[in-house]
Structure 1
Amino acid sequence: MKKIGLIGGISWVSTSDYYTLINKGINEKLGGLNFSECLIYSFNYADIKKNNDANDWDSTFNMLYKASESLKAGGAEAIVLCANTMHLIADKLQNALDIPVIHIAEETAKEILKKEIKKVGLLGTKFTMELDFFKDKLTAKGIETIIPISQEDKDFIHYTIFEELGRGIVTDETKKRYLEIANHLIQNGVEGIILGCTEIPLVIKAEDLSVAIFDTTLIHAKAAVAFQLS
């Protein structure tokens, strides 16, 4: 089994989901008492958010690069960034490392293509929705990506990711609003919804919508398992 390094704490809630999903995935494949051989470097979320709010991605890159080198020194053979937004610097990080960074958007694109879907809705932080780092990976595969038009909707998603879901807080009111936003995208012709923040699966489940959903946390965790067993 190959050893992987998880960079988490962004947030701890989704990092625990990654750890659970990856260990369950290994055990489903190998059975017995076989589980994932992995290392976790968990950040203080406040430090990351401070950089994000200041648009200081260089500082965030330096933090993630040092974490990656630490994990590599511990034997990690690949890096898993346990957050969609952090993939804004994933390509830069990959260029600086000599071990692979398993890219969440690339893995999501593969799953979308398996369902022969060409138009999807994307929900996530404002960074993920408005910048191109995630959408470009889909465009390269011929997939059109639509995000909420309303600034109010984008602000709501961004706020609740950091102030509610990232703290493990889930309310019926927030779930209802997320589903309204997703259904509006469906009415505009999307054939699937990407849960493009690793906390959004806390409020949107497969049975909640009439189209396919792409849980990026689950997709990314499965890709990590596949790498470990490759």
Structure 2
Amino acid sequence: MKLLGVIGGMGWSATAEYYRLLNDGVESRLGGLHSARVLLHSVDFEPVTAAENAGDWASMAEQLTAAARSLEAGGADCFIIAANTMHAVADEVAASVDIPFLHIAKVAAEHVEQARQRTVGLLATATTMNADFYTGPLRERGLEVILPTEEERPEIDAMIYDELVHGVINDASRKRFRQVMQGLVDRGAEGVVLAGTELGLLLEADDCPVPMHDTTVLHVEGCLDWMLSD
């Protein structure tokens, strides 16, 4: 089994879910007392998100590059960023080390393509929804991406950062997400991509009238394939 390096802490609730899913997956695939070989570098989220809010991508890249290099030095065979939004600087971070990197949006795009859906809605932080580092890999595969309305995006961002990042599960927020997803479906979405690593903590399959693609789950499955490959 390869040693997976994980840049986590953005936020900690999503990182905890990654760790749980990785170990569940290894146990399911290998049985017995097998567990995931994981090397975690959990960053302090405050300066990372401060850089995001300031649009200081160089600072964000510098912080995550330091984490990636520490994972490489610690013996990781490959690494991931356990957060969707911080993939805004993924190319720079991946280029800073010599070990392979598994990009969450590329994993999600491949899965949606295999599901034979051509039009999908996207739920994520404002940064992720307003940039092309996430929608780009989807559109490169010929997929149409529908975003929430301009008015809905700040509300979604707030529910992620003010609640889910802190592990807070709010029924009122679940109801609001249901409304937003119904709006995406009404505009033609055949599926909805949960491009926030914490969204799967709140939303379940019956919250949406079309299939949801939880990028945390998909990312973990891609990691397991990679870790357990020859």
TM-score normalised by L of structure 2: 0.97
Instruction: State how 1:122-133 maps to structure 2 within 5 Å.
Output: 122-133=122-133
Structure 1 position 96, deviation (Å) = 2.3
Q: Could you say which residue in structure 1 is the equivalent of 2:157?
A: 158
Instruction: State how 1:77-88 maps to structure 2 within 5 Å.
Output: 77-88=77-88
Q: Which amino acid aligns with 1:215?
A: D
Retained in 2: the 8 A contact 1:85–1:127?
A: yes
CA distance in structure 2 between the partners assigned to 1:27 and 1:209 by the alignment: 30
Instruction: State how 1:34-183 maps to structure 2 within 5 Å.
Output: 34-149=34-149, 151-183=150-182
For structure 2, the 5+ residue unaligned runs are: none
CA distance in structure 2 between the partners assigned to 1:146 and 1:179 by the alignment: 16
Structure 1 position 203, deviation (Å) = 2.0
Structure 1 position 84, deviation (Å) = 0.3
Structure 1 position 210, deviation (Å) = 1.5
Q: Which amino acid aligns with 1:121?
A: G
Structure 1 position 137, deviation (Å) = 0.4
Matched residue SS, 1:122: strand
CA distance in structure 2 between the partners assigned to 1:156 and 1:100 by the alignment: 35
- Cα deviation per residue 1:13-69 (whole Å; 9 max; x = unaligned)? 000000000111111111101111111111111111111111111111111111111
TM-score normalised by L of structure 1: 0.97
- Cα deviation per residue 1:186-230 (whole Å; 9 max; x = unaligned)? 001100000010011122211221211000000001111111001
Q: Which amino acid aligns with 1:4?
A: L
Structure 1 position 152, deviation (Å) = 2.5
CA RMSD of aligned residues (A): 0.9
- Aligned pair count reads 229
Retained in 1: the 8 A contact 2:69–2:96?
A: no
Retained in 1: the 8 A contact 2:72–2:97?
A: no
Retained in 1: the 8 A contact 2:123–2:193?
A: yes
CA distance in structure 2 between the partners assigned to 1:203 and 1:132 by the alignment: 25
Retained in 2: the 8 A contact 1:148–1:185?
A: yes
CA distance in structure 2 between the partners assigned to 1:83 and 1:126 by the alignment: 14
Retained in 2: the 8 A contact 1:79–1:101?
A: yes
Does structure 1 residue 30 correspond to structure 2 residue 30?
yes
- Cα deviation per residue 1:115-163 (whole Å; 9 max; x = unaligned)? 10000000100111110000000111111111012x2310001111111
Q: Which amino acid aligns with 1:199?
A: E
Q: Could you say which residue in structure 2 is the equivalent of 1:12?
A: 12
